[in-house]
A = this chain, B = another copy of it.
Amino acid sequence: MPTKLGKHTLRLDSAPSVLSFAAVASKKEGEGPLGQKFDILNEDTSFGQQSWEKAESQMQKLCASKALEKANLSPDSVDFMFAGDLLNQCIGSNYGLRDLSIPFLGLYGACSTMAESLALSSMFLEGGLANVCLAVTSSHFCSAERQFRFPLEYGGTRTPTSQWTVTGSGSAVVGKNTAPPYVKAVCVGTIEDLGIKDLNNMGAAMAPAAAKTIETFFEDTCTGADNYDLILTGDLGQVGTDLLHQLLARDGVTLGHKHNDCGLIIYDRQNQLDINAGGSGCGCSAVVLCADVLPKLRTGELHDVLFIATGALMSPTSVQQGESIPGIAHLVYLSSEPGRKGVL
């Protein structure tokens, strides 16, 4: 049974294991710093499909199958899958995962989906509701651009605050406590909105939610940045990262060199074209987590990691109607140590 700490944190006393994980990505991600770490790297961003949306579904299908294969599990042995993506009505997940015949709980958490699905999977394990859960998400540059901004053919100029949507999918299988990485705690975020209205500055819209969730978790657990090896936000990019540090500083919280952001890790901003403020999309935090961070937790290269994926909860319609952009951030505390060893 979980133990509630403070206001919004649940300590998962059984410390479920992330049994396996997989990351799928494409050309631009392959040219970035993590290029060698993906399970499947497809140079062709269409993934052999006839539309960008179908390509995104295909990525989720490949990624979920790969994670199950790595855990040596058949779809039949999975109790629930949690998945979602950025596309209208989450068609990336609905079509990508329909053949698996696993009980399906669809999510919409925008770019926070990897944390939301991983948190729910882990909570289901902790509550005795499941023995095995699957968490999946994805994003695709081409399907996201034409849905949220402009058709690619339009060739719109990108602002310096804009971020490049990652073409990629991440998935994780969560099961009973057996081997690292372990999920030690989760902190589900609240919707935060400081009034940002710029669709080309998602980092700024999401930073307040990240700050809120990190502060809540630190207060709830009586811990601070010093207790962790890595505090990894989802896809704030450079603008959102700067803002996060400002917001936290105002409340006397510092993350220092412990902090990094998936949007700043996935690409080489100096040498790759048009990245601007960094990477973004559900796939951004998903592939960084599944290709880079979870492996390091498994080997013990990292010990205690806070993974905080952030989502911007607007739609093009809400922005056109003059609404500001609400953000959300969910936190998952991952550790190489089982049980009550480690920070909590």
- A→B interface (CB under 8 Å): 1-2, 8, 10, 50-51, 53-54, 80, 84, 86-91, 94-95, 97-98, 100-110, 116, 120, 123-124, 126-129, 147, 188-191, 193, 313-318, 321, 323, 326, 328
Contacts and interface: CB of A to CB of B under 8 A. Distances in A.
* Top 5 A-B residue pairs of the complex, sorted by shortest distance between their CB atoms: A127-B127, A94-B313, A103-B188, A89-B315, A98-B191
Contacts of A108: 84, 89-90, 106-108
A124 B1 CA distance: 11
Contacts of A91: 313-315, 317-318, 323
A48 to B, nearest CB: 15
Contacts of A318: 53, 89, 91, 95
A301 to B, nearest CB: 31
A89 B123 contact: no
Contacts of A127: 1-2, 123-124, 126-129
A116 B120 CA distance: 14
Given A54-B321, A89-B108, 10 more contacts: A84-B108, A88-B316, A88-B317, A94-B313, A105-B116, A105-B188, A106-B108, A106-B109, A107-B107, A127-B128
Contacts of A87: 315, 317
Contacts of A89: 86, 88, 108, 110, 313-315, 318
B10 A129 contact: yes
A134 B236 CA distance: 29
A103 B91 CA distance: 25
Given A315-B87, A315-B89, A321-B54, A2 B107 contact: no
15 contacts: A1-B127, A1-B128, A80-B188, A84-B106, A87-B315, A88-B89, A89-B108, A89-B313, A90-B108, A103-B189, A104-B190, A105-B116, A106-B109, A106-B116, A126-B129
Contacts of A105: 107, 109, 116, 120, 188
B317 A193 contact: no
Tell me which of A105, A116, A315, A317 has the highest count of chain B C-beta atoms within 10 A of its own C-beta. Answer: A105
